[in-house]
Amino acid sequence: MKKSNDLYEVFLRSIRGVDHRHVGSLHADTAEQALTYARDCYTRRSEGVSIWVVKSTDITASQEQDAQSFYDPMDDKPYRHASFYVLPDEVNNM
């Protein structure tokens, strides 16, 4: 028998139209139970309209040592950012 139950990561969508955001974790034996406790523990002030729970061990995370090959190639594409383009002052708010 397991000594301790699983750790679940909790994600909340605070209002319709925004992304789910990581808010913390909790212990539970099943995803269903994790969802119930997430409601009680992380939405006491009605912070959420939607909750995701994910078993912490099911998350595959990028490693620090991979960071260079992962993100560095993205560094040299400033043309993807709006600030790359200089527009006349008269044309603001674009």
Token representation of residue 77: 């594409």
Q: Which is nearer to other proteins, 26 or 78 (CB)?
A: 26
Compute the chain's Rg from CA coordinates: 20
Q: What is the largest CA-CA distance in the chain?
A: 70
- What is the C-alpha separation between 60 and 13, in angstroms, rounded? 22
Show the site string, 26-65: x = touches other proteins by CB under 8 A, - = not.
Answer: xxxxx--x--xx--xxx-xx---------------x-xx-
Task: Considering the complex, state which of residue 13 and residue 36 has its C-beta at the smaller distance from other proteins.
Answer: 36
Asked if 81 touches other proteins (CB under 8 A), the answer is: no
Give CA–CA dist 72/74, Å, rounded. Answer: 5
Interface ranges with other proteins (CB under 8 A): 1-5, 7, 23-30, 33, 36-37, 40-42, 44-45, 61, 63-64
